[in-house]
Amino acid sequence: MSALRWQSIVDFVVLAVAIGWVLRWSLEARALRLTLSVLILRLAALLSEQLGLLITSWVLDAATVVALLVLVVAFQPELRRAFMRLDLPGRAAQQRQLPVMAALSAAAFTLARERCGALIVNVQGDSVAELVTGGVALAARISPELLQAVFQKDSPIHDGAVIVDGDQITQAGAILPLTQRQVPDYFGTRHRAGLGLSERSDASVIVVSEERGEVTLMREGRADVIRSADELVSALTSGQPADARKPGQARSRLRLTGGLVAASLALATLVWSVTFLLPGKSVRVETVPIEFTNVPTGLVIDAQSIETVQVWLRATDFIFGSVNLADLVARCDLSQVHPGMNVVRLNSSVLGVPPGIHVEGLSPRQLRVDLVASNPSARR
């Protein structure tokens, strides 16, 4: 039976974390079905290879490559955003938060002075991909000048919302869901859209009124008029702790996280099982040295009948190529022996082969080992 090594546990954890990261990204990018298709095709290809279905395995491998290329081409902006957001924990939030908020505030109050309407969404923890429609995909670092240019009346994408995620403007001209609540008469379409999105997510929405030159911050279904750029920076940075979210949103995120963890573990288990637990089609014969462990105190090995053992190993070519069979050692436990000649039974448990390798047989099945007292005077 294969031994469970710490390396195997680390490999499984890394696999599960990688699958979890891919699933989380695909859910936010609305690419979950295509991502699952890639994973299932790859899993089916591994299973076909294990079962000796060569043509089927080749077709599934080709389909996996095609699906992966489609995923990369179709979701290139989302992939770029995901890689750009990779950073040391906490460093990005500390270094980018204040400059981004300052840029948003500067742009908002400049537009307010110019009586130029604007609608800016600052994404927090919840993805807004499922809530917004239309718009033009962008991948530009945020700046006050760029925001002011987008909302000029002669801009073709001024009549919509700008989506800001991290320090990037990811979308412009986006359409937001309108609130269904009763709102003040002076609220226009921008205010209704900003309030509607803030009711459905934890995003902060900045609305600049064209008629009144006011800056309003929409958050968690509330609308607060902001009087200065410094006040807006303070409001944006103060509302970001997770414990300030609505209980319903926290429970929803908890369920989503639990579902992603469960799916990641299930898929990692399937990949692990198909890769390592099914018997392969390749068999190799190796000559393995014998090593003795737990030799009783006061005894030494005087003679042994054999020094190596031949073993027949079965696995896939992939597994054989991933391990170093020269490191295999047959470890014989001598904790129960006595002085004199002893017969030790040999089986697959003495080998400790890695997962994915199955011991088909070994020869010989036993060895004789003679133990004597280590003190020469004790032998008399």
Q: How many helices (H) and strands (E) does the chain have?
A: 10, 14
Share the mean pLDDT of the chain: 82
Q: Tokens 């990005």: give the residue.
A: 92
The answer, as to whether pTM is greater than 0.85, is no
- 269 and 343 in a single domain? The answer is no
Closest by Cα among 346, 365, 362, 345 to 311: 362
Quick one: what percent of the chain has pLDDT higher than 90? 18
- pLDDT score, position 324: 83
- 66 and 114 in a single domain? The answer is no
Domain count, the chain: 3
- 15 and 67 in a single domain? The answer is yes
- pLDDT score, position 94: 43
Q: Which residue segment(s) compose the domain that 209 sits in?
A: 91-243
Residues 242-299 pLDDT 10s:
334 445 555 666 777 788 888 889 888 888 787 777 777 788 999 999 999 999 988 9
- 272 and 332 in a single domain? The answer is no
- pLDDT score, position 29: 64
- 40 and 113 in a single domain? The answer is no
Is a pLDDT exceeding 50 seen at residue 210? Answer: yes
- 347 and 214 in a single domain? The answer is no
- pLDDT score, position 184: 82
In a domain, 143, yes or no: yes
- Highest average pLDDT, of 178-192, 231-245, 247-261, 332-346, comes from 332-346
- pLDDT score, position 156: 83
Closest by Cα among 165, 173, 88, 176 to 126: 165
Q: How many CB atoms lie within 10 A of CB 287?
A: 10
Residues 290-330 pLDDT 10s:
999 999 988 999 999 999 999 999 887 778 877 888 888 99
In a domain, 315, yes or no: yes
- 313 and 193 in a single domain? The answer is no
What pLDDT band is residue 377 in, cutting at 50, 70 and 90? low
- pLDDT score, position 217: 92
- pLDDT score, position 28: 66
Is a pLDDT exceeding 80 seen at residue 52? Answer: no
Is a pLDDT exceeding 70 seen at residue 241? Answer: no
Residues 54-110 pLDDT 10s:
888 899 999 999 998 988 887 776 676 566 555 544 444 544 577 888 888 999 999
Specify the CATH number for the domain of residue 152.
3.40.1700.10
The tokens describing 231, both together, are 């006040």
- 189 and 331 in a single domain? The answer is no
Asked whether the beta carbons of 292 and 308 are under 8 A apart, the reply is no
Is a pLDDT exceeding 90 seen at residue 342? Answer: yes
The tokens describing 183, both together, are 């709102």
In a domain, 50, yes or no: yes
**Separation between Cα atoms, residue 380 and residue 376, nearest integer Å:** 7
The tokens describing 380, both together, are 């008399």
The tokens describing 371, both together, are 């133990």
In a domain, 81, yes or no: no
Residue type, 11: D
In a domain, 226, yes or no: yes
- 161 and 26 in a single domain? The answer is no
User: Which one is predicted more confidently, 106 or 159?
Assistant: 106
The tokens describing 28, both together, are 């936010």
Q: 3-state class of 297 per DSSP?
A: coil
- 123 and 68 in a single domain? The answer is no
Determine which helix (DSSP H) or strand (DSSP E) holds 50, and give its type and residue range. Answer: helix 32-50
In a domain, 80, yes or no: no
- 45 and 70 in a single domain? The answer is yes
- 183 and 232 in a single domain? The answer is yes
In a domain, 324, yes or no: yes
Closest by Cα among 189, 187, 305, 198 to 249: 198
**Separation between Cα atoms, residue 71 and residue 73, nearest integer Å:** 6
In a domain, 49, yes or no: yes
Is a pLDDT exceeding 60 seen at residue 240? Answer: no
